[in-house]
Structure 1
Amino acid sequence: MRVVVADDSVLMRRGIVETIRAAGREVVAEAGDARALWAAVEFERPDVAVIDIRMPPSHTTEGLDAARRIRADRPEVAVLVLSQYVESAYALRLVQDNPGSVGYLIKDRILDARVLIDALDRVADGQTLVDPTIVAQLLGKLRRDNPLDRLSDRELEVLALLAEGLSNRAIATRLTVTERTVEAHVRSVFDKLDFANTPEHHRRVLAVLAYLRG
């Protein structure tokens, strides 16, 4: 796996780079701003770009905007966006624009190297990954007349884990149930959200988007 890392904090960037290299992945370029990031992506054509959401000059959404541009113009490059804060609207915007091969994590989570490497592998594999902190926040904002109201408590729990990017097997382990039970819950979620007649991968992405919009 070839990775580009973009963060204007040299200390944070070096920590991410060393973690990735220690796990046997190759960091092919580093960048401190969105312009340098785009140049690195164009030149190196990495598998994944790890991007801080706030970079110079304004430290607002330069990283997010760069991630969206990469997914639009270089769809073969997966993106993993990192944020210091829980910003659910930004996560939703990123996933809505280009579902698949995208991830959004809170920086505190990547203090555990296993979380960072797992996220890299999953977005490189085409999965959608949303930090569970954001998932929990969004769960508390369910609107009235929401399609998610059709779901049982257990189905909502399964959908929340889908939003984190977990496979059926991983969900079964988390909930201490059989994989067949999880498959039944997932089918029920798709049916209740009217996603029954779309391909499996697309249904999972659509379900995540429905959950995030909730």
Structure 2
Amino acid sequence: MRLILAEDSALLREGLVRLLAEEGHEVVAALGDAEAVPAAVAAYRPELVVLDVRMPPTHTDEGLRAAVALRAAHPALGVVVLSQYVERTSAARLLADGVERVGYLLKDRIGEVGEFLDALERVRAGGTVIDPEVVRRLFARTGRADPLARLTPRERTVLEALAQGHTNAALAERLHLSLSAVEKHLNSVFQKLGLPDSPAHNRRVLAVLRYLEG
């Protein structure tokens, strides 16, 4: 794929460029700040942009704001945000305008090369990927009044995998379940979360968003 990388750590940036090149991907621009990203996207028209949340000059949310703006201006562009820590507010802001072609990953995930590259591919293909650790932290914070607390352990596992952007077939393979069992668990999850079966709503998307609202 053609992609742009925005990461202020020169060491990590160059390491990612080499990793992606070795896997056959083309990094058309590797940037050290978020301000240069919009012009690079206009010039190179990548399929995917990977940005750090915290970038110069203030190292607060420059990368996140750039990601949100890119998603609004280029709906067909895949956007993956990297964060050093679990920041629920950042994830919610990133997904506020929809959850297609978007990912929120912790930087530790880069060390799991296969998972990291697979996440990038899923986002480029139109999917949503939320880091497994983010999902686990959000589960840990749910209270008894939260609808997520009504889910069984198996339903939580299925929803956790769903939040990572997997299809039903992939869920079945990862969890060693039949496809019909996955569908049964997902339907139960949707019902317990009060998500309507409507052509106007994507229940898979809404289920993922419930994590962040919780």
After TM superposition, the score normalised by the length of structure 2 is 0.93
Of 173-182 and 74-83, more deviation after overlay is shown by 173-182
Of 113-122 and 196-205, more deviation after overlay is shown by 196-205
Aligned to 1:75: 75
Moved over 3 A (4+): none
- Mapped to 1, the partners of 2:134 and 2:201 lie a distance apart of 22
Residue type at the aligned position of 1:190? F
Aligned to 1:113: 113
Of 27-36 and 162-171, more deviation after overlay is shown by 162-171
CA RMSD of aligned residues (A): 1.7
Residue type at the aligned position of 2:206? L
Residue type at the aligned position of 2:65? D
**Could you list the runs of 5+ residues in structure 1 that have no partner in the other structure?**
none
- Mapped to 1, the partners of 2:109 and 2:151 lie a distance apart of 29
Of 40-49 and 170-179, more deviation after overlay is shown by 170-179
Aligned to 2:54: 54
Aligned to 2:143: 143
User: Is 1:24 aligned with 2:24?
Assistant: yes
Of 126-135 and 161-170, more deviation after overlay is shown by 161-170
Instruction: Decide whether the 8 Å contact of 1:30 with 1:37 is kept in 2.
Output: no
SS in 2 for 1:58: coil
Mapping of residues 35-184 of structure 1, within 5 Å: 35-184=35-184
- Mapped to 2, the partners of 1:165 and 1:150 lie a distance apart of 22
Of 69-78 and 196-205, more deviation after overlay is shown by 196-205
Equivalent pairs counted in the alignment come to 214
Residue type at the aligned position of 2:173? T
Residue type at the aligned position of 1:50? V
SS in 2 for 1:80: strand
Per-residue deviation, 1:120: 1.0
- Mapped to 2, the partners of 1:199 and 1:65 lie a distance apart of 31
- Mapped to 2, the partners of 1:37 and 1:48 lie a distance apart of 12
- Mapped to 2, the partners of 1:189 and 1:162 lie a distance apart of 11
Per-residue deviation, 1:145: 2.3
Per-residue deviation, 1:157: 1.8
Percent same amino acid among aligned pairs? 50
Aligned to 1:12: 12
Per-residue deviation, 1:200: 9.7
Per-residue deviation, 1:198: 2.7
Per-residue deviation, 1:26: 1.3
Aligned to 1:210: 210
Aligned to 1:194: 194
Q: Cα gap change, 1:201/1:49 in structure 2, threshold over 3 Å: closer, same or farther? A: farther
**Could you list the runs of 5+ residues in structure 2 that have no partner in the other structure?**
none
Of 201-210 and 189-198, more deviation after overlay is shown by 189-198
- Mapped to 1, the partners of 2:193 and 2:133 lie a distance apart of 24
After TM superposition, the score normalised by the length of structure 1 is 0.93
- Mapped to 1, the partners of 2:185 and 2:38 lie a distance apart of 41
Q: Deviations over 1:176-210 (max 9, x none)?
A: 22122111111222233233423498211111001
